[in-house]
Amino acid sequence: MPQRRPMWIMRQAGRYLPEYRELRSKAGSFLDLCYNPAMAAEVTLQPLRRFDFDAAILFSDILVVPHAMGLSLAFKEGEGPVLETVKDIHDVERLDLRGEQFKRVFETVGLVKRDLLPHQTLIGFCGAPWTVASYMIEGGSSKRKTALAIAIKNPAWFSLMMAKLVAASTTYLLGQISAGAEVVQIFDSWAGDVPLAHLERLVINPIAAIVRGVRAVHTNYPVIVFARGLGRGHAGVARATAANCAGLEEDVAIGSVLADLPAGIAVQGNLHNELLLGNVDELLGHTREVLNAVPMERHIFNLGHGILPQTEIRMVERLVKEVRAFD
């Protein structure tokens, strides 16, 4: 039984925090910040100094994996990521995990771990193969139509790329775990784009393979699977991937998903991130709805997606206070 309902917020280290913006401008680019262990560790810890959260999530990005596999990567101001694209079998064959980038991320994990308080959990993460593959095909955050068309046609090079992503992501998570991560979250941010007929091949199997790879080394290691956009499909995916916890987007009834899950599996989520931009009464009303829908021992309170950069600090403070006062 947890002492209290655990709580953290996706993208909790980020632009809504003035101390983040300050360090980020000192670091240079977003990637420079990700690959500077001292600065990345500091940014990871910033939200925990300000708010009474129960977990720190490693400050990094899901695109570090394709970057470490040899694809060039930049983050353009106001535009998001720009990743070198993969177009054919030759591009896929060239993908090769060099690992130099990983080492710096693992160093960050070690630094964060050293500074956390005993009740604070360190979360590591990676992107799920489908989401990362979408970026590798599209080159950025655009529409993902090309990625889906290629995935459905399923040329040999796409399957090989997915297999390479499973292997690299497993290595990436195992390194984070060795460095001190106590739970990992697998982000499948674009799972909701996948037609049901392809869900097993594109979403479930690759995630399940990563989970197996992690647990082959660390038996029963806890994993949160955030397959964003699956609605009622979350329970099935959590079961099929052997997740310990299903991360839920907003706009899904968290209590119904919980009801579809065996007792050993928890849910995470799923307050709408835009409620933090509106009025306090509405924020607190919806927060209590989420809290009422699931018991403390099977819930990790979170948003349904990352906190927005324009969020005011006072709204986060109010939210934390409400969650703490509830149980």
Query: Does 141 contact ligand CP3 by CB under 6 A?
Result: yes
Nearer to ligand CP3, 59 or 221 (CB): 59
Query: Does 130 contact ligand CP3 by CB under 6 A?
Result: no
Among the listed residues 109, 1, 107, 2, the one whose alpha carbon sits nearest the alpha carbon of residue 54: 2
Query: Does 188 contact ligand CP3 by CB under 6 A?
Result: no
Query: Does 164 contact ligand CP3 by CB under 6 A?
Result: no
Q: Does the annotation mark 96 as catalytic?
A: no
- Beta bridge mates, 121: 55
3-state SS, one letter per residue, for 174-226 = HHHHHHCCCEEEEEECCHHHCCHHHHHHHHHHHHHHHHHHHHHHCCCCCEEEE
Nearer to ligand CP3, 36 or 189 (CB): 189
Torsional sign, CA 7, 180, 136, 85: positive
Query: Does 16 contact ligand CP3 by CB under 6 A?
Result: no
Catalytic residue among 15, 50, 201, 239: 15
Query: Does 63 contact ligand CP3 by CB under 6 A?
Result: yes
Q: Does the annotation mark 327 as catalytic?
A: no
State how far the alpha carbon of 297 is from the alpha carbons of 1, 263, 294, 300, 301, in Å: 6, 10, 8, 8, 11
Q: Does the annotation mark 212 as catalytic?
A: no
Stretch of 61-69, 107-115, 159-167, 229-237 contacting ligand CP3, by CB under 6 A: 61-69
Residues 6 or more apart in contact with residue 77 via CB below 8 angstroms: none
- Residues 44, 105: Cα–Cα separation, whole Å: 12
Q: Does the annotation mark 20 as catalytic?
A: no
- Residues 91, 82: Cα–Cα separation, whole Å: 17
Q: Does the annotation mark 15 as catalytic?
A: yes
- Residues 306, 164: Cα–Cα separation, whole Å: 27
What would the two tokens of residue 109 be? 């994990």
Nearer to ligand CP3, 85 or 220 (CB): 85
Nearer to ligand CP3, 38 or 259 (CB): 38
Encoded one letter per residue, x for contact with ligand CP3 by CB under 6 A and - for no contact, window 75-104 reads x----xx-----------------------
Catalytic residues: 11, 15, 24, 61, 135
Positions in the binding site for ligand CP3 (CB under 6 A):
10-15, 24, 30, 57, 59, 61-63, 75, 80-81, 125, 141, 187, 189, 306
